[in-house]
């Protein structure tokens, strides 16, 4: 079997210098505190709070359990209006918590949920809106907030793509009743595996902390139904290291993003999501939309044959998942079209200018 010309992964985790991580974890051997909200987990929460300008950031095991805990803590058990264009965890968390997802279509320009369609989907059983800041691009948070207040609905933002994003001069995480983050290894900021829940008052933070710790404090004081959503000191140590390098991580991603935007992004067959001018972006993804699925498969197949990884973030449209209950089936033509025609390119700081140039050259050749 012949060697492919390139070996470029679509994602690649950022890792801090080995010696830096080793120094960070050395104290774990000294105090033998490896989990159960140890000093490093507490320190990471505090530093994240400082970064976001928020008081209540709670570190968890991953970006899916935080969605489930968000629903539990808010008491959401009925219908939830949600987006069909996101990673599958957005929908699976609803199903796992026995909520009924009610899909409404998205805006083609930002890939976020279309607020103009939300009110028509509200019924007496609707309890919440769960929207995703897709690719780190903010939803229309003001329109969603107005609808939620009018109909007394909770708002949960899946902000897995939006670490560090600012909107209108403040953290995007300030909107909604709760926001969730993913710290998976492929994200802008990671703790290998991890996530966080962001809320805006001390009592909700207390309920979240209880729920992620089996619902009890100590050995005997049991307060509520809970789950094990805690994360380890080793994961927190990775987060503490990576936070120190966040400016260079984002700068490296922006460098690659800008190279793509000046070339692939200008091709006549390519459409791109629209970044809002009042948003400070994190360069989480570089997706393009092509004229049809056949073109996507041709370009992706050609790049894969050369050893260049790409991914269809996000396919399929979640309203078309095969295991959805029959009564939630609904058409979302914009989401369905975009999910069939999307292709996301490698984007991480370790990509060299030579590698990015090769990706661009090969892509433009395949596009013709």
Question: What are the tens digits of pLDDT across the range 303-321?
Answer: 999 999 999 999 999 999 9
Model pLDDT, residue 219: 77
Q: What's the whole-number mean pLDDT along residues 238-257?
A: 98
Strands (E) in 55-151, as ranges, are 56-60, 79-82, 100-103, 126-132
pLDDT tens figures, 177-230: 999 999 999 999 999 999 999 999 999 999 999 999 999 988 778 999 999 999
Instruction: Indicate whether 164 pLDDT > 90.
Output: yes
Model pLDDT, residue 50: 98
Instruction: Indicate whether 1 pLDDT > 80.
Output: no
- The whole-chain average pLDDT of the chain stands at 97
pLDDT tens figures, 19-45: 999 999 999 999 999 999 999 999 999
From the list 236, 275, 228, 233, the residue with the least C-alpha distance to 254 is 275
pTM of the model: 0.97
pLDDT tens figures, 129-147: 999 999 999 999 999 999 9
In the chain, the domains with their CATH numbers are 18-244 (3.40.640.10), 246-367 (3.90.1150.10)
Tell me if 121 sits within 8 A of 104, measured CB to CB: yes
DSSP type of residue 338: H
Tell me if 107 sits within 8 A of 139, measured CB to CB: no
Grade residue 2 by pLDDT with cuts at 50, 70 and 90.
Answer: low
Model pLDDT, residue 217: 87
Q: With residue 222 as reference, give the H or E element that holds it.
A: strand 221-222
Angle (CA) 218 222 228, round 5°: 75
Grade residue 329 by pLDDT with cuts at 50, 70 and 90.
Answer: confident
Contacts of 181 (CB under 8 A, 6+ apart): 63, 66, 159, 160, 162, 163, 173, 195, 196, 197, 198
Q: What's the whole-number mean pLDDT along residues 101-115?
A: 98
């Amino acid at each position: 079997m012949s060697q492919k010309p390139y070996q470029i992964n679509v994602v690649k985790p950022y890792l801090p210098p080995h010696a830096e991580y080793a120094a960070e974890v050395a104290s774990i051997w000294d105090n033998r505190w490896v989990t159960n909200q140890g000093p490093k987990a507490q320190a990471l929460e505090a530093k994240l709070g400082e970064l976001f300008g928020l008081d209540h950031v709670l570190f968890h095991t991953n970006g899916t359990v935080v969605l489930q805990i968000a629903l539990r803590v808010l008491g959401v058990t009925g219908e939830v209006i949600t987006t069909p264009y996101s990673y599958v965890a957005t929908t699976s968390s609803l199903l796992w918590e026995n909520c009924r997802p009610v899909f409404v279509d998205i805006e083609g320009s930002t890939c976020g949920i279309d607020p103009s369609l939300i009110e028509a989907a509200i019924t007496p059983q609707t309890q919440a809106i769960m929207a995703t800041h897709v690719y780190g691009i903010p939803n229309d948070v003001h329109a969603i907030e107005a609808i939620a207040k009018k109909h007394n609905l909770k708002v949960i933002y899946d902000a897995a793509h939006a670490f560090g994003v600012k909107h209108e001069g403040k953290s995007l995480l300030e909107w909604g009743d709760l926001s969730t983050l993913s710290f998976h290894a492929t994200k802008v900021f990671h703790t290998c595996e991890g996530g966080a829940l962001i809320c805006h008052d001390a009592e909700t933070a207390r309920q979240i902390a209880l729920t992620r710790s089996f619902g009890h404090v100590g050995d005997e004081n049991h307060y509520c139904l809970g789950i094990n959503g805690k994360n380890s000191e080793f994961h927190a140590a990775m987060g503490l290291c990576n936070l120190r390098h966040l400016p260079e991580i984002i700068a490296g991603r922006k460098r690659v993003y800008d190279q793509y935007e000046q070339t692939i992004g200008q091709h006549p067959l390519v459409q791109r999501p629209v970044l809002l001018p009042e948003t400070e972006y994190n360069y989480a993804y570089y997706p393009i939309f092509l004229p049809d699925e056949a073109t996507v498969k041709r370009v992706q197949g050609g790049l894969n044959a050369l050893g260049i990884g790409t991914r269809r973030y996000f396919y399929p449209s979640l309203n078309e998942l095969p295991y959805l209950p029959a009564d939630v089936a609904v058409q979302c033509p914009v989401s369905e079209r975009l999910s069939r025609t999307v292709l996301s390119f490698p984007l991480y700081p370790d990509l060299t200018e030579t590698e990015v140039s090769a990706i661009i050259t090969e892509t433009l050749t395949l596009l013709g």
